[in-house]
């Protein structure tokens, strides 16, 4: 893509972003021209946990995930950033090493902004700082949910929780009221729930036996009763 359409895409994306929603047109234009574009292929690393970079990133196309990687190759997915989401704000704000590894979930296009440019934008429009804070607090709430789920729910419940969250965000319903979502691999489900592939395989079997989860070509179907199973032994 040549520079002009790229600029237009950045400007258009920025108008819809919660953290830049209160920017005046001239400031938004200035800020979008400060971003550079980075394309990244599915499976490639944007940066590793402990790296010392401080740029801010925005997903313009595609999706990336923030993960913690264990030495044994085990991955815990903290969150997925989709179109319009930003990441990298923690090192940008405190100057410390990156708190997580960012991996491309699909071929993606990212906008990258240098720390100094972002700080200048905050000086010009302090309202950005308030909107950024509100987004960070929302992430903290989600992190609390994750801690709660790791501490108090078993793998069955964590998996149901995950599938129901995905269904709420981007699922639809079949004629029997079952929630339909795109199938995930056992490895993906293990990485999202802090468990192993073997544990997920067992859970899927139990859920299928109890008719809480059905599998069809490319999709999972989740029973409307599934939410009542969280908080009690499934």
Provide the binding-site residues for ligand CMP, judged by CB under 6 A: 66, 78-79, 87-91, 98-100, 139, 143
Whichever of 51 and 107 has its CB closer to ligand CMP, that residue is 51
Q: Return the exposure string of 94-129: e unless at least 16 CB atoms fall within 10 Å of the residue's CB, then b.
A: eeeebebbbbbbeebbbbbbbbeebeebeeebebbe
Q: Least separation, in Å, of the C-beta of 16 and ligand CMP?
A: 19
Closest CA to 173 of 219, 124, 121, 116: 219
Helices 115-124 and 25-34, interaxial angle, to 10°?
Answer: 170
Q: Least separation, in Å, of the C-beta of 12 and ligand CMP?
A: 23
Rounded Cα distance between 226 and 234, Å, is: 9
Q: Least separation, in Å, of the C-beta of 227 and ligand CMP?
A: 23
Whichever of 14 and 118 has its CB closer to ligand CMP, that residue is 118
Whichever of 89 and 125 has its CB closer to ligand CMP, that residue is 89
Whichever of 37 and 45 has its CB closer to ligand CMP, that residue is 45
Whichever of 87 and 220 has its CB closer to ligand CMP, that residue is 87
Residues 6+ away with beta carbon under 8 Å from 230: 153, 157, 160, 161, 164
Q: Least separation, in Å, of the C-beta of 91 and ligand CMP?
A: 3
Q: Least separation, in Å, of the C-beta of 89 and ligand CMP?
A: 5
């Amino acid at each position: 893509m040549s520079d002009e359409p790229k600029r237009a895409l950045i400007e258009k994306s920025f108008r819809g972003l919660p953290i830049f929603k209160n920017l005046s047109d001239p400031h938004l234009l200035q800020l979008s021209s400060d971003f550079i574009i980075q394309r990244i292929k599915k499976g490639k690393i944007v940066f590793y946990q402990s790296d010392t970079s401080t740029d801010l990133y925005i997903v313009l196309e595609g999706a990336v995930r923030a993960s913690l990687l264990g030495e044994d190759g085990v991955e815990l997915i903290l969150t997925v950033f989709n179109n319009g989401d930003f990441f990298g704000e923690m090192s940008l704000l405190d100057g410390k090493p990156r708190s997580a590894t960012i991996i491309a979930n699909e071929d993606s296009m990212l906008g990258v902004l240098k720390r100094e440019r972002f700080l200048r934008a905050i000086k010009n429009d302090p309202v950005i700082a308030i909107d950024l804070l509100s987004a960070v607090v929302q992430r903290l709430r989600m992190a609390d949910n994750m801690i709660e789920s790791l501490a108090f729910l078993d793998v069955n419940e964590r998996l149901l929780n995950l599938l129901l969250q995905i269904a709420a965000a981007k699922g639809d319903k079949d004629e029997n009221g079952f929630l339909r979502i795109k199938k995930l691999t056992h490895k993906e489900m293990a990485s999202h729930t802090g468990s192993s592939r073997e544990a997920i395989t067992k859970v899927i079997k139990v859920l299928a036996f109890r008719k809480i989860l059905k599998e069809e070509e490319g999709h999972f179907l989740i029973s409307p009763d599934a939410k009542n199973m969280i908080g009690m032994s499934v």
